[in-house]
Structures are given as C-alpha cells and as structure tokens.
Amino acid sequence: MTDMLFREDAYLAEAPARVAAHTQEGGVVLDRTVFYPSGGGQPGDSGRLEWQGGSLPVATAVKAGAEAIALVPGAPEALPPVGAEVLQVLDWERRHRHMRMHTALHLLSVVIPLPVTGGQVGEARSRLDFDMPEAPGDREALDAHLAQLVDRDLAVTEHWITDAELDANPGLVKTMSAAPPRGAGRVRLIGIGTGEDRVDLQPCGGTHVARTGEIGALRLGKIEKKGRQNRRVYLHLDG
C-alpha cells in the first residue's frame, strides 16, 4: 500500500520515502509518494529518485494494484534496493501544468454544461469530449466565460462523501465514460468556488491548483466531430 501524498498536498514537489517493493516490469513501489499515477485522463508524473550511491530517472507513475503506485524508469536501470531510503523529486514544471490544465477542464465543463464522454490532460493542450450533437455557435462567448472564471480567482476545494451519498446524488457525475474513483467507501469531490460563488462540484481523483487565477490564460482550440452525438473540444494553455 502506497501513502498517496499528492492527495494531501498537490504542491509537494519532493519527499523522502522507503522502497517497499520492485515490480516484475522493473518499477519501484514506495511506501509513500508525491508521484500521481496515470489515470482519469491525467498522465503519470515524471521526475527522479535519489539515494546514497545512486539515482533513477522516473518516466511515469502507474497504478500497481488497488492501493500501490509504481514509478517506472524510462529505460532498464539499476533500481534502489528494497528497504532503501530515497528522496523522490517531481518534474514540478510538468506537474504544475497538468494541475492548471486539469482545473481548466473542470471550467470547460462549466461553460459547456453537457455530459462529458472522455478527456485527456496535456501540458499545453487538453481536451474534453461532450455528448453534443452540434458544435457551439458562439466561440467568443465561451472564451470570455472561461476568462471570467479564471479572473474571478475562485477557490478550488476538496471534500469527501460516502459511496452511498454519491449514489443518492447522481447529478454530481459529469463524466459518462468513466466511473468516479471508488474503492475505499468514499469519493473525493472537487469544488470550484465556495458558497454562493460555487460554479462546479464533481468527483475527481486528479491534482488541481488552489485557485482558478493560477491557471493563467486559456483559449479554445479546434472543435472536432467524433461521431453522431460527440464533439471533441480542445483547450490551450498560453504561457
């Protein structure tokens, strides 16, 4: 079992840990990690491990069973031994861009209030797929709405509800293609804005910035037809 430090503090860029195991594929499982594993449309984090007498570039992080995370090197290399104390260091610039973009996709689901059928987070360009028979007519209005939500510098918060509470409130689930992250009897909700200023609330296991003002300048990209009922909407992060 890996203690997921990124859930407690998405801004934690490095932390000590102990090597708990190696995987058959050549990955490293730590007892605690700042590395987010690939999932929910967000790529796994990259960075490095350092220990006495060695270092290891980490190309990505993946889930290794229900409660463990494996750090995967880009090429076969000597791994830190099981039981070794290591320092894990994120590629922080890449992670922070993912945090900004993931939060921006939540805003995109606000300005286009339709069911989401898929999505992917990138460093500079991301996308959401919508159950949307026709493309939106006023792109300028969507861009202006996104900019307004960023400029309002809304707080991004989290809290947890039980599986039963989520089942009683199915309207919280915007994504049709993937079920909310479950398994521990509770589900993490990400809110944007508080009180009367709340604009969004949905289940999500990813990493996000603390306030929408941190996202920076956004702009809509291409809107592509992906089937009779689906449109793919790209979002770009400028700077």
When pLDDT is averaged across residues 50-55 and rounded to a whole number, the result is 94
Element of type H or E holding 107 = helix 92-111
Say what angle helices 139-151 and 92-111 make with each other, to 10 degrees: 120
| 180 has pLDDT over 60 | no
Confidence check: pLDDT of 182 > 60: no
pLDDT of 239 reads: 78
Residue 176: the pLDDT is 45
How confident is the model at residue 151, as a pLDDT?
A: 97
pLDDT band at 111 (very low <50, low <70, confident <90, very high): very high
| All structural domains of the chain with their residue ranges | 3-90, 95-238
Fold (topology level) of 3-90: Elongation Factor Tu (Ef-tu); domain 3 (2.40.30)
Where do the H-state alpha helices sit in 112-226?
139-151, 163-167
User: CB count, 10 Å around CB of 12?
Assistant: 14
Instruction: Return the closest-CA partner of residue 234 out of 96, 139, 148.
Output: 139
The CATH H-level superfamily of 95-238 is Threonyl-trna Synthetase; Chain A, domain 2 (3.30.980.10)
Q: pLDDT band at residue 175, thresholds of 50, 70 and 90? A: low
